A and B are shown apart, each in its own frame.
Chain A
Amino acid sequence: MSVILDHLPELWQGLVVTLQLTAASFLGAAVLGVVVTALRVSPVRVLRAIGTAYVETFQNLPLLVLLVLAVFGLPEIGIQADLLVTAIVVIAVYEAAYIGEALRSGVNAVSKGQGEAARAIGLTFTQSLRHVILPQALRTVVQPLGNIFIALTMNTALAGAVGVIDLTAAANRVNLVEAQPIPIFVGAGLAYALLAACAGFVTGRLEKRLVVLR
Chain B
Amino acid sequence: MSAPSTVLFDEPGPRARRRMRIATVLGALATVALAVLAVRQFAANGQLDAARWQPYATWPMWRYLLNGLGSTALAAVVSAALAMAFGLVLGLGRLSPRRWARGPAVGYVEVVRTVPALLLVYVVLFALPRYGLDLPLFWKLVVPLSVSHAASFAEIFRAGILSVERGQSEAGLAVGLTPGRTMRLIVLPQAARRVLPSIVSQSVGLLKDTSLGFVVSYTELLYSAKVLANYNGLLIQTYIVVALVYLVVNMSLSKLARTLEARQRAVLRRRIARG
Contacts and interface: CB of A to CB of B under 8 A. Distances in A.
Interface of A: 41-47, 50, 56-57, 59-66, 68-69, 72-74, 76-79, 107-108, 110-112, 114-116, 119, 125, 129, 133, 150, 153-158, 160-161, 168, 171-172, 175-176, 179, 181-182, 185, 188-189, 192-193, 195-197
B5 interface: yes
A73 B123 contact: no
Interface string B196-215: 00000000100011111011
Nearest to A129: B8
Contacts of B242: 65
Contacts of A182: 127
A42 B127 CA distance: 51
B116 A154 contact: yes
Contacts of A61: 208, 243, 246-247, 250
Given A72-B229, A77-B236, A43 B20 contact: yes
A79 B5 CA distance: 43
Contacts of B31: 46, 50
Interface string B224-238: 011001000001100
12 contacts: A60-B246, A60-B254, A61-B247, A62-B211, A77-B42, A114-B7, A115-B6, A116-B5, A154-B115, A171-B122, A192-B116, A197-B114
A112 B4 CA distance: 11
B45 interface: yes
A64 B28 contact: no
Contacts, number: 170
A63 B207 CA distance: 11
B20 A189 contact: no
B24 A160 contact: no
B135 interface: no
Interface of B: 2-3, 5-10, 12, 16, 20, 23-24, 27-28, 31, 41-42, 44-45, 47, 111, 113-119, 122-123, 126-127, 130, 204, 208-212, 214-215, 222, 225-226, 229, 235-236, 239-240, 242-243, 246-247, 250-251, 254
A43 B13 CA distance: 12
Contacts of B240: 69, 73
A64 B141 CA distance: 15
A160 to B, nearest CB: 6
A77 B41 contact: yes
A78 B246 contact: no
Contacts of B204: 60
Given A46-B24, A61-B250, A116-B5, 14 more contacts: A60-B204, A63-B208, A66-B243, A69-B239, A72-B235, A107-B7, A158-B118, A171-B119, A175-B122, A181-B130, A185-B123, A189-B111, A192-B119, A197-B114
A44 B31 CA distance: 14
A125 to B, nearest CB: 8
A148 to B, nearest CB: 13
A189 B115 CA distance: 6
Contacts of A76: 45, 47, 235-236
B226 to A, nearest CB: 7
A181 B127 CA distance: 5
A111 B5 CA distance: 12
B246 A77 contact: no
Contacts of B115: 154, 189, 192-193
